[in-house]
Amino acid sequence: MAVYTDVSDAEAGALMRALGLGELTALRGIEGGIENTNYFATTDQGEWVLTLFERLNHAQLPFYLHLMKHLAQHGVPVPEPQAKADGAPVAAGEDDILHTVCGKPAAVVNRLRGKSELQPGAAHCAAVGDMLARAHLAARDYPLRQPNLRGLTWWNETVPVVLPHLDDAQSALIRTELAYQNHIAAGSAYAALPRGAIHADLFRDNVMFEGTREQPVLSGFFDFYFAGVDTWLFDLAVALNDWAVDLPSGRADTARTRAMLAAYTAVRPLTDAERRLLPAMLRAGALRFWISRLWDFHLPREASMLKPHDPTHFERVLRARVADPLLP
Ligand SMILES: Nc1ncnc2c1ncn2[C@@H]1O[C@H](COP(=O)(O)OP(=O)(O)OP(=O)(O)O)[C@@H](O)[C@H]1O
Ligand SMILES: N[C@@H](CCO)C(=O)O
């Protein structure tokens, strides 16, 4: 279920016309996703996705939507928010790509072709590594700034909140890891890491592919709503921790790790500081999602529509990264 707000054909049709996208011929609620209301909107000009934001407000959205537009306009395949025609009325709080539907902030983006691959092989990991490096380079001149809101500051605030829900071994692990990450973040190698606007949540369910299993063609990244400015290495670590990990054990998969790293570094070679800190950032990426999953699991927000993911998966990934810091 991911239609929390019902949108009529008339409302959707009026927006599509205001965006110059033609006449609406079909509007269909999308079942996947848990955070926002999403519809596929078909017009006589193509297929689009209409999203009504159920959590983020008009003030928070420009960073994400303009990042998507910037990347799309720099040749990175991401959904491009569609703009109202020059001179069209823009209400308070809106801008040309941030609209209002049923009183909620809304955006219309092009529909990506293909489907997600939940059991990726080395070829999928290579395609993601290549495109992630291209996205980092393309966002270098993105002018808007917002920190990674799920970064170190949030970990330090949130670990004490989840600690009462952990057993002794888990408490020891999370405290030790947080202390280690604070130590790393205070060091000179960390300060030297290149940074910019990153996706920060590039999991298997946020990428689309066409083509075959042997020769997949990446058709796009989506779900930019955890994006922020942080180190490029952290973004790569988050992707490796999902795409190149054996899900039952949490351990790194050699072939997929090598494929993603080789493809990423072919576009953007890692600096010395990045090579040195990759093991630490892999631990940081695991800690980040262990904390957020614990928080979602044990402290569900009132009226939350989130279906919590299993926190113990990222506890296993973290333990595996600590036990075996050497990359394949
Ligand atoms: N631009 C797009 N092109 C094609 N399909 C899309 C696009 N955007 C979203 N979808 C489809 O809609 C589904 C839900 O989108 P998404 O995952 O962004 O949902 P959400 O509720 O906004 O976020 P979350 O997954 O974090 O809950 C996706 O799994 C995908 O199938
Ligand atoms: N990718 C996150 C969910 C939020 O997008 C997780 O797996 O915990």
Q: Give the distance (Å) from ligand 2 centre to CA of residue 201.
A: 7
Query: pLDDT (tens digit, 9 = 90+) per residue, 19-57?
Result: 999 999 999 999 877 789 999 999 999 999 999 999 899
Please, which residues have CB within 8 angstroms of residue 196's CB and are 6 or more apart in sequence? 136, 139, 140, 142, 229, 232
35 lines ligand 1 (CB under 6 A): yes
Q: Give the distance (Å) from ligand 1 centre to CA of residue 318.
A: 27
Burial class (CB in 10 A: 0-12, 13-18, 19+), 91: exposed
Q: Check residue 262 and give its pLDDT.
A: 98
Amino acid at 208: M
Per-residue pLDDT of the chain (328 residues; tens, 9 = 90+): 468 899 999 999 999 999 999 999 999 999 877 789 999 999 999 999 999 999 899 999 999 999 999 999 999 999 999 999 776 767 777 789 999 999 999 999 999 999 999 999 999 999 999 999 999 999 999 999 999 999 999 999 999 999 999 999 999 999 999 999 999 999 999 999 999 999 999 999 999 999 999 999 999 999 999 999 999 999 999 999 999 999 999 999 999 999 999 999 999 999 999 999 999 999 999 999 999 999 999 987 654 556 779 999 999 999 999 999 877 6
36 lines ligand 1 (CB under 6 A): yes
Q: Check residue 1 and give its pLDDT.
A: 47
Query: pLDDT (tens digit, 9 = 90+) per residue, 247-281?
Result: 999 999 999 999 999 999 999 999 999 999 999 99
Q: Check residue 31 and give its pLDDT.
A: 85
Q: What is the number of the ligand 1 atom nearest to the C-alpha of 225?
A: 26
Q: Which domains does the chain have, with CATH numbers?
A: 9-110 (3.30.200.20), 122-323 (3.90.1200.10)
- Which ligand sits closest to the CA of 37? 1
ipTM: 0.94
305 lines ligand 1 (CB under 6 A): no
Placement of tokens 């890891």 in the chain: 177
- Among 1, 20, 23, 19, smallest CA distance to 10 is for 23
223 lines ligand 1 (CB under 6 A): yes
Torsion of CA 246, 252, 256, 261, to 10 degrees: 150
Burial class (CB in 10 A: 0-12, 13-18, 19+), 46: exposed
Distance (Å, whole) CA 50 – CA 270: 37
What is this structure's pTM? 0.95
Could you report how far apart the first and last alpha carbons of the chain are, in Å?
Answer: 40
In this structure, the residues whose C-beta lies within 6 A of any atom of ligand 2 are 201, 203, 289, 292-293, 309
Q: Give the distance (Å) from ligand 1 centre to CA of residue 33.
A: 5
Q: What is the number of the ligand 2 atom nearest to the C-alpha of 201?
A: 1
- Which ligand sits closest to the CA of 286? 2
Q: Give the distance (Å) from ligand 2 centre to CA of residue 317.
A: 14
Nearest CA to ligand 1 atom 24: 33
Handedness of CA 94, 95, 98, 102 (dihedral sign): positive
Q: Check residue 175 and give its pLDDT.
A: 98
Q: Give the distance (Å) from ligand 1 centre to CA of residue 29.
A: 11
Distance (Å, whole) CA 133 – CA 94: 31
292 lines ligand 1 (CB under 6 A): no
